[in-house]
Structure 1
Amino acid sequence: MKASCTADRHQLAAVRDEFRLWLTACDITGPCAQNALVAVNEAIANAMEHACANGSEGTVHITARATVDRFCTEVADTGIWWDPEPRRAAVRGRGVPLMRRLMDHVTLTSGSAGTTVSMDTRVTR
């Protein structure tokens, strides 16, 4: 699966629905699909927020692939993610820890061109 969209939070539901259909087409179902859906949704929501944090229009790119026993995805944006402020941590900043609980591996790479979150997990059927 390859998809791109503008960093507009109003598009999140449509992108999530497209991803859900892709998971089903790959025969990834049950708890494995739910974990992937939640983790990718968090990554896309963060990308949409941070891709246009400086007031510019950003783009979010989603790439996913599935093999017989693994699911891998990358969500890339044109912004820089930041650590939540300590006083806001009670209500913000839970997305990355959630992704790490739901997936086997999560890597965030930030640079001047943007941020990419890469995730993968074993597919259980």
Structure 2
Amino acid sequence: MTTKRSEEDVTSTPEELHCRVEADANRLAAVRKALSGWAEDLGMTREQRSDLVLAAYEALANAAEHAYVGRTDGVIDLSARCTQGTITIVVTDYGTWRAPQPSDGLRGRGLLLINALTRHHQVTHGDNGTTVTMTWPTPGSG
């Protein structure tokens, strides 16, 4: 699918969801909505969907805020896949890594939330950007 730069690019099947969005916090609501609908189609409960969407949103928001400082050309990709008893969400930016800063009590909790809301997560970063991979069991698989 080809879209204008100011629109979100979303493709979905029952097993997979792919979204590409500008690295702008104002664009993330459409990705949240698409991800929530996809998770609902998988049979996730409201609570399970809430955890999944919140963790993914934290990764998206971190990328939108930190990866492209001083740039306006950034994009973020979200890929979701349901296979073999596992739901995997991957959020990727192509910007610059910024190490977590000490929290002032009001901010800086994104990675803590991701840790608490996922079965497993991994953050990798390098010269080509940052990838956050998060997993959950599929509904009914424990």
Question: TM-score scaled to structure 2, two decimals?
Answer: 0.79
Aligned partner of 1:13 in structure 2 is 29
Task: Report the equivalent of 2:108.
Answer: 93
Q: How many angstroms apart in 1 are the aligned matches of 2:37 and 2:80? A: 12
Report the 3-state secondary structure (helix = DSSP H, G, I; strand = E; otherwise coil) of the residue aligned with 2:99: coil
Asked whether 1:52 is paired with 2:49, we answer no
Separation in 2, partners of 1:52, 1:65: 26
Give secondary structure in 2 for the equivalent of 1:106: strand
Deviation at 1:4, TM superposition (A): 0.5
Structure 1 residue ranges, 4+ long, deviating more than 4 angstroms after superposition: none
Structure 1: which 5+ residue stretches go unaligned?
Answer: none
Aligned-partner SS, 2:61: helix
Q: Which amino acid aligns with 1:106?
A: H
> What is the Cα deviation at residue 34 of structure 1?
1.3
Tell me the equivalent position of 2:47. Answer: 31
- Counterpart residue type for residue 124 of structure 2: T
Task: Report 1:41-80 matches (<5 A).
Answer: 41-67=57-83, 69-80=85-96
- Select the residue among 83, 107, 119 that pairs with 2:122: 107
Shift of residue 21, structure 1, vs aligned partner = 1.0
Q: CA RMSD in A?
A: 1.7
Output one character per residue of 1:60-96: Cα deviation in whole Å (capped at 9) or x when no partner: 000001136321010000123323433x442221001
Higher RCO (CA-CA < 8 Å; seq separation 6+): 1
Bigger fraction of residues in helix? 1
TM-score normalised by L of structure 1:
0.88
Q: Distance in 2 between matches of 1:21 and 1:72?
A: 16
Matched residue pairs, number? 124
Moved more, 42-51 or 95-104: 42-51
